[in-house]
Amino acid sequence: MTKSQANTSSSAPPKVDGLDFGFNVPLDRAELSSAKWEYEISRKGDPTLLCFGTAEMDYRAAPPICAALERVAKAGHFGYPYKRVSYYEAIIGYFNRHFSWSIQKDWIASNVGIYPSMQPIIDELTSPGDEIIYQPPVHHIFPEVITAAGRTAVANPLVKRGTRYEMDFEDLAAKTTARTKILLLCSPHNPVGRVWTREELERLNAFCLERGVIVVADEVYCSLVFEGVEFTPFAGLSQSASLNSITLVSASKSFNVTGLKHSLFVAENPDLRDAYMRGLKRNNLYFGGCIFGQAATEAAFRDCDDWSLAAVRYIQGNFEYLRSFIEKHLPLVTVTTPEATYFAWLDFGRLGLSVDELRSFFEDEAHVVVTLGEPLGAGGKGHARFNLGTTRSLVEEGLHRIAQAYERRTAS
C-alpha cells in the first residue's frame, strides 16, 4: 500500500474565535534539542525517524505564554521569583472556571514537577514497608517512585470491558491491607485516556475513606479533556474527598511547557500540606523555583483557554483520522477510544510479537518511535502509546510507515 492509495484527507486546523494557532505547521527543528525527537534520532542514528513517544506536543506554546516568557527574558533578571497575587488568581480562576472547583490560595504549593512532588508526600505520610497502590497500565514512574522510597508498590490493574477500561474495585478491596496508606490516582489516565466519571470517583472516595487510605491524584492532563466529556477533580467531589486527598497538577502537559519545570500541589487539609512542606525541606525545594515556569503557569491558566480548546479539537481530529486508518489498514490492531490526553492506546497483541520484536517492528521496520506498553505494567503487554500531539501530516506519514511494516509482517 502506498500513501496515495489510502485516505489522506486532512481537515483544516480548528479555529476558535477566528484564531488559527498553526497546529498544522511543522516546527523548524534546526534550533531545537528535545528528548522526544533529537535524542531518539541520535539514539538510533536514524535521521528519518518519526517520533511519537515522549509526552509532549509538537506545537509552539500559546502566544500569551510566549509573550510572558519574552517579558521575563527582556527584563534580564533571573533571581528567585516571588508569587504575586495574580499568580494565585490565575490558578484559582482556572479551576473554578473550568471545573467548578473552588480552591484557596493557602492550599497551593509548588514544585519542579509532578513526580518529584510524590517523594515528599510518600516520605512524610508513610513508613518503610507501607503499601501504596497504583493502577496499571500507567507510567512506569509510579511504581519506581514507590519502590525507590522503600515502600511496597501494589498493582491494582485496570480491567478492560469491551473497549473501555474501568477500575477493578474487587481487586482493590482484596489488595488493601492495614499497611495500605496511599492510592496514586491517574486522572485523566495515561495511557488509556479514561476520564473517570463522578460516580467512579465517589465510589473510590468512599472506599478510601472507610479504610484510611489517602488519595494522591495526578491530574496533569485535566486540560486535555475531549469535547463532550466532563472531568471532575477528585478533590472537587466533596469536602470529605478534598480533606482526604492531594492534587498534583501542572500546565506542563496541557500547554506544552514541560521543559519549564513548574508544578502545583493542592490540598485543603492543613496536616497534608504541613507534611508536604516538611518533606520539601530535605532538598530545599520549598524555596525559589523557575522564574520562567512560574510566568508560563500564570499565563497558561489565565490567558490560554482558546488555544487549549483549539488544541483539543485538533488532537481529536488526529485521533479520528488514526482510528479510521487503523480500521481500514491494520485490522488486527485494536484502538481504545480516549476521552482525554493526546495519546492513542493501541493493542498490537494479535501480531504475537515479544516486546523486543515489537520495538524492532516500530523502530527498525517502520522507522517510528512510540512508547511501548509492557514497561507500563499489567495490561500493557503488546500495546503501544502513540502521541497524537503533532501535525496531521506527521500522523499520516507515521501511520503509513506502520501499515507498510504491518503488511510485510502479516504477508509473511
Condensed to tens digits (0 to 9), the pLDDT of residues 25-40 reads 999 999 999 999 999 9
Q: What is the pLDDT of residues 244-276, one digit of tens each?
A: 999 999 999 999 999 999 999 999 999 999 999
**Cβ contacts of 398 within 8 Å, gap of 6 or more:** 50, 52, 366, 368, 386
pLDDT in tens, 237-249: 999 999 999 999 9
Predicted structure pTM score: 0.94
C-alpha–C-alpha distance, residues 301 and 222, integer Å:
12
Sorted by where each starts, the structural domains of the chain and their CATH numbers stand as 3-61+305-411 (3.90.1150.10), 65-303 (3.40.640.10)
Q: What pLDDT does residue 12 have?
A: 53
18 vs 22: CA distance, rounded Å: 12
pLDDT at 388 over 60: yes
Q: What's the sign of the alpha-carbon dihedral 87, 92, 94, 97?
A: negative
The one-letter amino acid code at 332 reads L
Q: What average pLDDT does the chain have? A: 94
Of the chain, the percentage scoring pLDDT greater than 70 comes to 95
Whole-angstrom Cα distance, residue 392 to residue 394?
5
pLDDT band for position 287 (cuts 50, 70, 90): confident
Q: Is pLDDT above 60 for 156?
A: yes
CA distances from 340 to 254, 322, 343 (A): 10, 15, 8
* 83: pLDDT strictly greater than 90: yes
At 308-318, the pLDDT tens digits run 999 999 999 99
